[in-house]
Amino acid sequence: MSLYVVTGAGPVGWTITEILASQGHNVRILTRTGSGPDHPLVERRPVDVSNPASLSREFQGASAVFHCIHGSSYTAKAWAAELPVAEAAVMDAAQAAGAVVVFPESMYSYSGPERPIAENSPREASGGKRGVRTQLLRARAAHSADTVSVVAGDFFGPRVLMAHAGDRMVPLVLQGKTVQVIGSADQPHSFTYLPDLAAAMVTAAQDKGLWNSILHAPTLPPMTLRQLASAFAAAAGLGMPKVSVVPGWLLRIVGVFSGDMRELVETLYQFERPFVLDSAASQRRLGLAPTPLADAASATVAWWQQKERTTAAG
C-alpha cells in the first residue's frame, strides 16, 4: 500500500485525496490548519509547506507528491514572489525522498491561443501571470526531480468556488438570477471537470511512462459560457438561465483605476475569442475520457444544492 502526499486542501487537493483513499492508499495531506477529507486512510497534518525542513520530513516514504497549493493572491506579483521558491523546495524534497511531483497546471503559458492548444503547442507566453507560469514550467523541466504537469481548462465541479463556472455562475443559475460573464457569452471555451483533472493527476503519478511530461487533463469539447450555464440549469430542472455580458472595453477602462481588475483584464483574451484545449493525445496516453457534460453538471449542481442546504441549516 503506497503513501502519497498532497499539499493543500483546495478543490484539487481534496479531490485527489478522496480518489487515492478510495483506491486503498495511505494519504498524508499537508495544510496550515490540518484540514482535509475525513477518512481512515487520510492523515491530516498541520504543516507549513513553505518550510523546507518540514517538507523533507513529511515526504519521507512517499511515492508521489501532488503539489496543489497556489499563490496567496491572484496577482502576478504574488505568484512571482511565492511560487518559484515554493516549487523549488517541493521538488528538492521530493527528489531526496525518491518521489515524483505532480502539478496541476493552467493554460496561461501557451503563446498561440488563437488556435486549438495541443500538448506540443508553444509555451512561450511572457509578462504578468502568464510569464510566471512559463517560468515555472521551465524550472520543472530543468530540475532533476521527476515531475508531471497536468494542464486543465477553467475548472467546474464540486468544491470549485472562486471560478468563472463556480460561485460566479452555479448559485446564480440555481437562484434564477442573471449570470454576468466577461468578454463574451458565445465564444467557444474549454472547461475541465475537476474530478477529471484529479483522475488524470493520479493516473500520471502511478505510471512512470508518463513522468517528465506535460499532459492535458481530459477536457470536454469546447462550449460557450451560455451553454455551460444552460447545462447547469437543465441539471437542476430549470429553464434557460439569464446571461449578461460585461464587455472587455469596460473592464479595460476600470482596470486603469483598479489593480484587481487589471489582473482580470490580463486574461480577457481567453473569453473574447475561442480558447480551446485539445486533450485527445493525452486522453489516449492516460486511458481516460472526460465525464459527459450532463453527468458533470448534475454532480456540480447537487454539490451546490447540498452546500446551500447546509448553509441554511447552520
Contact 268, 128 (CB under 8 A): no
pLDDT digits (tens, 9 = 90+) for 7-44: 999 999 999 999 999 999 999 999 999 999 999 999 99
The DSSP secondary structure of 182-201, one letter per residue, reads ES-SSS-B-EEEHHHHHHHH
pLDDT digits (tens, 9 = 90+) for 82-99: 999 999 999 999 999 999
- What mean pLDDT is predicted for residues 71-85? 91
pLDDT digits (tens, 9 = 90+) for 275-307: 999 999 999 999 999 999 999 999 999 999 999
Q: pLDDT higher for 252 or 200?
A: 200
- Percent of the chain at pLDDT above 90? 85
pLDDT digits (tens, 9 = 90+) for 46-58: 998 888 888 999 9
Task: Identify whether 180 is part of a domain.
Answer: no
Task: Identify whether 244 is part of a domain.
Answer: no
Task: Identify whether 125 is part of a domain.
Answer: yes
Task: Identify whether 170 is part of a domain.
Answer: no
Task: Identify whether 59 is part of a domain.
Answer: yes
Rg (CA), the chain: 19
- Percent of the chain at pLDDT above 70? 99
Where b means 16+ CB within 10 Å and e means fewer, 148-166 reads bbbbbbbbbbbbbeebbbb
Q: Strand 243-246 and strand 179-182: pairing?
A: parallel
Residue 291 C-alpha cell reads as 465525464
Task: Identify whether 314 is part of a domain.
Answer: no
Q: Is the pLDDT of residue 45 over 70?
A: yes
Comparing C-alpha atoms, which of 18, 23, 19 is closest to residue 2?
Answer: 23
Task: Identify whether 171 is part of a domain.
Answer: no
Identify the CATH number of the domain in which residue 100 sits: 3.40.50.720
Domain of residue 196 covers 3-159+192-220+276-291
Q: Indicate the pLDDT class of residue 138, thresholds 50, 70 and 90.
A: very high
Q: Is the pLDDT of residue 311 over 90?
A: no
Q: Is the pLDDT of residue 188 over 70?
A: yes
Question: What is the residue-averaged pLDDT of the chain?
Answer: 94
Q: Is the pLDDT of residue 1 over 70?
A: no
pLDDT digits (tens, 9 = 90+) for 140-165: 999 999 999 999 999 999 999 989 99
- What mean pLDDT is predicted for residues 255-273? 82
Domains identified in the chain, total number: 1
Q: Is the pLDDT of residue 249 over 90?
A: no
Q: pLDDT higher for 190 or 70?
A: 190
Return the DSSP state at 209. Answer: G
Task: Identify whether 264 is part of a domain.
Answer: no
